Amino acid sequence: MYRKSRLLRLALAGLFSLVVSGASAQDADLNPDQNDRIRVEKVDAAIKLIPADYKFVTPGKLTVATNPGRLPFAAYASDTKTAIGSEPDLAQLVADSLGLQLELVPIAWADWPLGVTSGRFDAAVTNITVTEERKLKFDFSSYRNDLLGFYVPVASKITSISKPEDVAGLRVIVASGTNQEQILLRWIEANKAKGLAATDVQYYDDEAVLDVALQSGRADAYLGPNATSAYKSAKEKKTRLVGTFSGGWPQTAEIAVATKKGAGLADAVTAAVNEQIKNGNYAKVLARWNLSAEAVTQSRTNPPGLPKS
């Protein structure tokens, strides 16, 4: 029913994405030392919320999984081994607040659930959207709003994609297993019920191949996290935004720190984030990576998540 294109990954030695929302590549601090990273003092009120019987993966450290896939969320620094970006910065805020040393563990995004539930990581900070299904296995501490964006080639005749009817007849690229894919497929089903033209859904495992498909005319639009696409658009000037909406459409979606269900760590993390929101350090982290538009006014433990599919 939906065409799924799985292409071989290209051998792109030494290439990593420099895609931060709203700034030029030269503005991104790629130094592994990250001397400009926001550091904070410990928050006693948050530390007191850590259960007395909680055992950290490594005593004295907060071990956090993150996926160095693309900025502004996370990517490798110029040494190709140190994770940098807004997610590592947020993890640093939490670790500092809890009086712990941060231990970042680079992983593939799909590996965080097992890593957290098995106790390999204390937490995962890697652009994770809160869903009701995930809440069965994880506790969450929200820290950012989830926005999605439709991007098209600059020469495209498409001017707006804001509702299901707008994707009828289009060829749309989306990542498999994501919330945006679920939204797109729901839109397609709604259009089918109305007798509208079918949407060709395309999937690519490699970003370079995805770019070629979009620029060559094999696809009409790309749907993904707005933050990464916005920066890439500003940097390369090959695409433009034609629509944004919540990552939980029609509900509001939030990005959160994930910890093991029932471990008791979430309340401490939430308190840590709220203190940094209150004193302005949280805002500095988002501003550093041009994510201010996605800021929350309050962190919440286990906020309402996207409904089960």
pLDDT at 14: 30
From 308, 225, 300, 307, select the one nearest 256 (Cα to Cα).
Answer: 300
* Sites in the chain below the pLDDT cut of 50: 1-26
Domain 147-246 CATH class label:
alpha beta
pLDDT at 309: 65
pLDDT at 276: 98
CATH topology of domain 32-146+254-294: D-Maltodextrin-Binding Protein; domain 2 (3.40.190)
Q: How far is CA 76 from CA 37, 53, 66, 70, in A?
A: 15, 35, 11, 8
List, by residue range, all CATH 3.40.190.10 domains of the chain.
32-146+254-294, 147-246
Rounded to 5°, the CA angle 175-158-191 comes to 65
pLDDT at 283: 98
Measured CA to CA, the distance from residue 134 to residue 131 in angstroms comes to 5
CB count within 10 Å of CB 205 equals 14
pLDDT at 26: 41
Here the tokens at position 171 are 């060829």
Residue with tokens 């009409």: 220
